[in-house]
Amino acid sequence: MDDVLIKCPVTGKPVKTGIVAEREGFEESVLEESTVPCPHCGQTHTWDKQDAWLAD
């Protein structure tokens, strides 16, 4: 299981979304628009699957 990450648009740093997934399941998943508080810039970011990737 790997963390699902997005990129903070302010700092460019990766942000954990709080979701974990297996690689096979992630590719097939449907992740709709969600929000996550960013520990880097303090803002709340809205994201969907096209913005996300799995941590290595």
33 phi and psi, to 5 degrees?
-50, 130
Check residue 56 and give its pLDDT.
Answer: 83
Check residue 51 and give its pLDDT.
Answer: 95
Q: Chain-wide mean pLDDT for the chain? A: 95
Summarize the confidence of residues 31-56 as an average pLDDT. Answer: 95
Q: Which residue has the higher pLDDT, 30 or 49?
A: 49
| Strands, E assignment, 1-56 | 2-7, 14-21, 34-37, 44-47, 53-54
Q: Is the pTM of this model over 0.75?
A: yes
Q: Which residue has the higher pLDDT, 27 or 55?
A: 55
Residue-range domain boundaries for the chain: 2-54
- For 4, counting Cβ atoms within 10 Å of its Cβ (0-12 exposed, 13-18 middle, 19+ buried), the class is buried
Tell me which DSSP letter residue 23 carries.
Answer: H
